Amino acid sequence: MSDETAPKADGVRQFVVGYDDDGIRLDRWFKRHLPDTSFNLVSRWARTGQLRVDGARADPGDRLVAGQTLRVPPAEPAKAAAAAAAKPKRERAPLSDEQTALALGMVIHTDPQAIVLNKPPGLATQGGTKTTEHVDGLLDALMFENEGRPKLVHRLDKDTSGALLIARTARAAAFFSKSFSGRTARKVYWALVAGVPEIEDGLIDLPIAKQPGTGGEKMHVSEVEGQASRTRYRVLEQAGNRASWVELQPLTGRTHQLRVHMAAIGHPIVGDGKYGGLDAFLTGGVSRKMHLHARRIRIDHPDGGRVDVTAELPHHFADSMALLGFDLSRGDAPLSDEAPPPTRAEQKQFAKQHAKTVRKDRKGERRGRGAPETTPRPAAHDKRTGPTTRGGPAKPRGAPGAKTGSGPRSGSAKRSPATSRPRGPAKPPR
């Protein structure tokens, strides 16, 4: 929480960036603490130098650090009231007793910064068209002693069950999001797949893109338009040639990645008719529900140490495992600390981000050089003609290889006798 100091006589406000706002973008800070201040107004304040952090000019995209002092110009009551009237704040309906019980029943881990849920299959992570029941809508029940509402930092598909990480503070949300984007978080999935992969321990490296004509609802393997996608898999046990129990570790985070990759190698996840068709369903009493479960999540903790949580299987998955005779003790292998090597696309993205940071730092250095120069600059100097005159700068030399025409050479200037190169001593007469 950011604390506001006493306003000055001219109406200028000052805020001290709180611990929970560490790392947040400046524009997001306004949206969180001064929601009636529009982005256009924040941008205008930044352009005119009225918005400052620790006395220095700031941009809307700058990241804040806990303890910094933020200077905000006086509020504009008329505009703020008009904006508030134009955008009425939507209030969430209170949760029912059943919804509260559902949310609390999913909790398998909690600490001051994080909550881990064991999401059941069939419950969406976020809302959308015709989706009114979802995890995001139940987070009010998980505030506990905190004032702020918990925040989602990643997603699971609606029909995928298992460990889902929730951040309890804004600082934790920024920290966890960075861990996911930096590929330091580790997730382990269990799945039942049709058939038995020929390679028991392998890496699937196939680019994935949105499938045309599906409105972005379905993905497919595309060497032309796909993004780099990698999945490591390991066969834990097999039931003859009928089905296999596999461990999956996504090394990238594409939409439907595990489902697309397993179907692409000819072993769709049991119950995934969207990508496996009829081949994804087994007979003999095996459930037709999706058999994909986020078994474990391990991620660095904002306060040090790690969050390392395992989620139990849902009933239909556990029943199918027992029906096929699989031994659960064969799972849960130790995770290595070695981070997966970045893909070529990720290396390019890192390079672009680094270049952007360098440009931004240089821009800040130029701004901090002080007032513009008032002393006149020395006249430009040409090696052949000497200092330029008031009539204008000397004409540039012709570029090598320049095209010639009927007139004088383009870009070249005739050499005057006064400035021509001396030819040395005259030869004696014969």
**Contacts of residue 133, Cβ cutoff 8 Å, sequence gap at least 6:** 123, 124
> Is 148 within 8 Å of 107 (Cβ atoms)?
no
| CA-wise closest residue to 173 among 6, 353, 21 | 21
> End-to-end CA distance of the chain, in Å?
99
What is 170-184 written as a DSSP string?
A: HHHHHHHHHHHHTT-
Tokens of 49: 């130098």
What is 337-397 written as a DSSP string?
A: -PPPPPPHHHHHHHHHHHHHHHHHHHHHHHHTT-SPP-SPPPPPEETTTEE-BTTBPPPPP
- Give the Å distances, CA to CA, from 123 to 116, 119, 131, 134, 160: 15, 7, 9, 6, 9
- Whose tokens are 């990759």? That residue is 261
Ranges of H-type helices in 167-247: 170-181
Q: To the nearest 10°, report the CA torsion of 235, 253, 305, 170.
A: -150
> Is 65 within 8 Å of 23 (Cβ atoms)?
yes
157 is catalytic: yes
| CA-wise closest residue to 252 among 391, 124, 346, 367 | 346
In angstroms, the CA 2 to CA 17 distance is: 5
Tokens of 401: 């290889």
Annotated catalytic residue within 157, 300, 303, 327: 157
In angstroms, the CA 326 to CA 70 distance is: 59
In angstroms, the CA 203 to CA 295 distance is: 19
Give 90-95 contacts, CB < 8 A, sequence gap 24+: 92/137, 92/140, 94/140, 95/138, 95/140, 95/141
Degrees to nearest 5, angle at CA 310 with 306 and 314: 155
In angstroms, the CA 197 to CA 204 distance is: 12
Q: Which active-site residues does the annotation give?
A: 157
